[in-house]
Amino acid sequence: MSLLRPRAAGGESPVSAAMLQVRSARKTFESRGIVGLGRGESIQAVRDVSFDLAEGETMALVGESGCGKTTLARMVVGLETPTSGSITFEGRDLSTLRPAQVRQVRRRIQMVFQDPYASLNPYHTVERIVSEPWRAFPDAVAKADRPARIREILRLVGLDDRFAERFPHQLSGGQRQRVGIARALAVEPRLIVCDEPVASLDVSVQAQIVNLLRDLQDRLGVAYLFITHDLRLVSHIADRVGVMYLGKLVESGATEDIYDRATHPYTQALLGNVPLTHPWREDRPQFVLGGEVPSPADPPSGCGFRTRCWRADQRCADEEPALVDRLGHPSACHYASFDLEHGATTTLPKERT
Ligand SMILES: Nc1ncnc2c1ncn2[C@@H]1O[C@H](COP(=O)(O)OP(=O)(O)OP(=O)(O)O)[C@@H](O)[C@H]1O
């Protein structure tokens, strides 16, 4: 893979240019018999998340499993309704639209899923899979033009005409994900939400799919919301990064800022875990983040990260740090600092309460 993408102008996208605006989005799931939860308890999967995404831009959302990335992504594509807050796409608040209008918006926001095998119908040919979105949006392409259009889309994702008649089980993992991307492209979206799109693929194939996504962005100007737990990928695709922890955005900024000048200890810990072979990792001290992510049914008081943080003190338990500009970009840490010394040289304790 080639090096970092050019930074988006200005780092944080200006509000006026934002195609997607997420404002104080919150999603709470009521327990309803979920194992491990008492009656009346609820899971705060996403807590007051706000960000903008501009036309043609890529924002990566990163964080450990369970931090709310997928729930946030599902709210953006309309598969989940926010408990509170708003999601505005091309100037229209999705929660205020009539069903017919929501459908039109959804045409412009498509999703690519983690597991291409599970998301493709095994009994359908590639041709049928790619044309699937046209059932919901018959006006997207005239019937007579569809066979040619399918082949055009397949070529766009690097598959030649022979693939049209194949079934998913006749394809490799990478080819299947190309079909998943082709299906998303069929209705000419302006935003594609990619939920761990390469997590199930071999490393060499991951690079090819990431390069394909970049190439498509250059050619079509599509924006991506790229969900991943893998920081190695982010530098290859994202203009900006949002780091999530326990349902909250804890740091955000231009990709270089996050990689070179992270100030939140959680981001620093995630970067400390990037394998040594990665170029971003060379001069970075390695350390291991101990402890477990607290339950989203019972997040700690104050800062959600304080139970695993080497900088935490009483203030962090008493006062929740806001995500505000600290040392050049937004960070939700009272003690935001470039200094890695304490965390970098120690392996953190297993539990800290
Ligand atoms: N439909 C649901 N009902 C109840 N809890 C849910 C539901 N969907 C997600 N959750 C919970 O919300 C929290 C956030 O989950 P989410 O899948 O958004 O996180 P994630 O960061 O995408 O994790 P992963 O990478 O493992 O998918 C988790 O505790 C999860 O168990």
Q: Is 296 in the pocket of ligand 1 (CB under 6 A)?
A: yes
8 Å CB contact between 222 and 192: yes
Residue 172 has pLDDT above 50, yes or no: yes
Instruction: Name the H helices within 6-132.
Output: 69-76, 99-108, 116-119, 126-131
pLDDT surpasses 50 at 352:
no
Which residue lies with its CA nearest to atom 6 of ligand 1?
29
- Whether 54 and 223 have beta carbons less than 8 Å apart is answered as yes
pLDDT tens-place string over residues 33-85: 555 555 567 999 999 999 999 999 999 999 988 899 999 999 999 889 999 99
| Mean pLDDT, rounded, of the chain | 86
C-alpha dihedral (237, 240, 243, 247), degrees to nearest 10: -100
pLDDT surpassing 50 at residue 18: yes
CB 178 within 8 A of CB 210: no
Q: What does the pLDDT read at residue 291?
A: 81
Does the C-beta of 67 come closer than 6 Å to ligand 1? yes
What does the domain layout of the chain look like in residue ranges? 263-345
Contact 154, 164 (CB under 8 A): yes
Per-residue confidence at 255, pLDDT binned at 50, 70, 90?
very high
User: Residue 176, SS3?
Assistant: helix
State residue 49 phi and psi, 5-degree precision: -95, 130
Which ligand 1 atom is at minimum distance from the Cα of 244?
Answer: 21
Token representation of residue 178: 């190309």
Q: What is the pLDDT of residue 34?
A: 53
Determine the pLDDT at residue 139: 87
Helix (H) / strand (E) element for 242: namely strand 240-245
Please tell me if the CB atom of residue 74 comes closer than 6 angstroms to any atom of ligand 1.
no
What is the amino acid identity at position 316?
A: C
Between 35 and 103, residue with greater pLDDT: 103
- Ligand 1 atom closest to 64 (CA): 21
Find the Cα–Cα–Cα–Cα dihedral 19, 24, 30, 36, rounded to 10°: 100
Q: How many whole angstroms from 28 Cα to the centroid of ligand 1?
A: 10
pLDDT digits (tens, 9 = 90+) for 140-152: 899 999 999 999 9
Q: Is 193 in the pocket of ligand 1 (CB under 6 A)?
A: no
Cβ–ligand 1 distance for 45 under 6 Å, the answer: yes
ipTM higher than 0.85?
A: yes
In the chain, the amino acid numbered 75 is M
Handedness of CA 66, 67, 70, 72 (dihedral sign): positive
Closest CA to 133 of 179, 172, 166: 179
